Chains A and B, each alone.
Chain A
Amino acid sequence: MVAYPPLRHGGDMLQIDKLTKRFGDKIAVVTANVSIDKPTMIGIIGRSGAGKSTLLRMVNRLSDATSGTITFEGEDVTALRGAARRNWQSRCAMIFQQFNLVPRMDVVSNVLHGTLNRRSTFATMFNLYPQSDIHKAIEILDRLGIAEQASKRAEALSGGQQQRVAIARALMQDPKIILADEPIASLDPMNAQVVMQSLRTIHEEDGRMVIANLHTLDTARRYCDRVIGMRDGRIVFDGTPAQLTTGVARDIYGAGADFSEAATSTEIETLDRPEVREAEAYV
């Protein structure tokens, strides 16, 4: 769909360097180092409170880092202020666990919110979106299979549909990176699959980088090219899904020997798939 422009320099696409976030005397993220050299689909796993959300929110600049830097294609985005910061946010879309749509506005309007960075407040106030944007919004909705819902209010949709509207809003931003903070944590298994598949398709077809916080191991294994494990604010694992053995997973989750992958699974098939229970055999 969108031809991906070549990198401007030889270095890494996204570089996170010694990123730290403190809330008062509590440390949420401790000297995180991540480098990503090409558009990849990355899953971040870890217990709740491990600092996964904080990390993503810092990348989007929803919250400021206490120290450390985030560099995107050679540009230090941690230092951006005002309009430059908002421009970065439009290039780095975010999807939330609770969808974070405007419930009383219709689906297309919610998708058009992805263009707000390019529009003035005046144009927004009088609903003056260009026809080309409106057509594009409906095309994106069609791509995600929810075009029929276009004129309904966002609050009238099911959770899975709302999350796809949120993905459509992110796509409308035409971002280089899509950050997804627990995108399937409040969805049932069927909708979770649709949403994860959509994110995978976007990654594969458009060549966008996708970084998703996930609370289930099998989702990370199944959809991601690379998995980052966080524990107590530190990155304790960074590798391919194949390297993520049950032993490593126990370490990430700080769980005992009774930990099994099925315990965290939301996949429908898990229940009648005996091999998942022997997750050690995955490697």
Chain B
Amino acid sequence: MADISLNTAPQSVDSLQSSYMAQVQRRRLYGGLTLLIFVVLMVSGFNIADERNAGGFWEGLHNIGDYPADVLSEAWAKRADLPALIAKYFPALVETINIAAVSTLLGTIGGVLLSLLGTRGLAKWPRLIPLFRRISDIMRAVPEIVIALVLIFVLGGGPVPAMIAIAIHTAGALGKMFSEVAENTDIKPVEGLASTGATWSQRMLLGVLPQVAPNYVSYTLLRFEINIRASAILGFVGAGGIGYELRNAMAWGPGRFDEAGAIFILLFGTIVFFDQVSSRYRNRLTEGQGQ
């Protein structure tokens, strides 16, 4: 047997134990303080918010189910009309999905460009990296609904302003996510291509995109789901699609709740459908690489 001693202790076990215990005590103290601060902030913040709330949180809490109950009971009472209403609003749903699809496509192209130009090690103009990063910050900082409202004011209502608004936000958001993926790429293939005299676009297209494609596609599909919801919401401010119909049905109040119910079913079904399709496709991309 080898002569390896398992007991070599220049520093005594006792002193190691006490110094580690001191470290643990300090960590527990910090942990306890953090917890205390968290609880104090949450409780005091809630109290302030509750005081400023017009109706009061606790008095209003038990009414929270009233509106959904009204909608559901009326929709249930008129359930025979639902299939016809779903068929009636299906074209509006298609318009909403179209807005989401086009804006996701445009936003993705913008996001890829912004990410490659804003990633250290890949950027064409390294000095301009901060510029492209700030552009993508601004694009995702402004909410879609604000851009849409401005554009609707300028261009008038309809799907085009909604599409532009969502595309701008998508480009900013995906630019950020894409550049985080791009930062982790292996630079060696890019160097290999550079050594053959390839241009920047050729290096990105052939050296970087194949590496990042599965992640990019996965983020894009996730963004598409988000954009379906966003484009439905933009309908509320006059951008057309199913959101516009939903606002009309809901603003009418009791009497058209069956229509609101049909639209909710359509929206819910669509989001579940695309969620399932895209998660299946994303799983295949991440697991089935190289097959």
Contacts and interface: CB of A to CB of B under 8 A. Distances in A.
A164 to B, nearest CB: 9
Contacts of A108: 20
Given A127-B31, A128-B28, A147-B13, A134 B7 contact: no
Contact of B4 (A129, A143, A193): A193
A65 B1 CA distance: 37
Contact of B13 (A138, A151, A194): A138
A126 B17 CA distance: 20
Interface string A109-149: 00000000000000000111101001100110011110110
Contact of B20 (A126, A134, A144, A198): A134
A143 B4 CA distance: 12
Contacts, number: 59
A151 B21 CA distance: 10
A198 B6 CA distance: 7
Contacts of A143: 6-7
A201 interface: yes
A197 interface: yes
Interface in B1-42: 1-2, 4-11, 13, 16-17, 19-21, 23-24, 27-28, 31-32, 35
Nearest to A131: B21
B211 to A, nearest CB: 25
B1 A197 contact: yes
Given A126-B32, A135-B21, A139-B17, 10 more contacts: A108-B20, A126-B35, A127-B24, A143-B6, A145-B6, A145-B8, A148-B9, A151-B20, A193-B4, A201-B6
Shortest 9 CB-CB contacts between residues of A and residues of B? A142-B13, A138-B17, A145-B6, A135-B17, A193-B2, A145-B8, A147-B16, A197-B4, A150-B20
Interface of A: 108, 126-129, 131, 134-135, 138-139, 142-145, 147-148, 150-151, 193-194, 197-198, 200-201
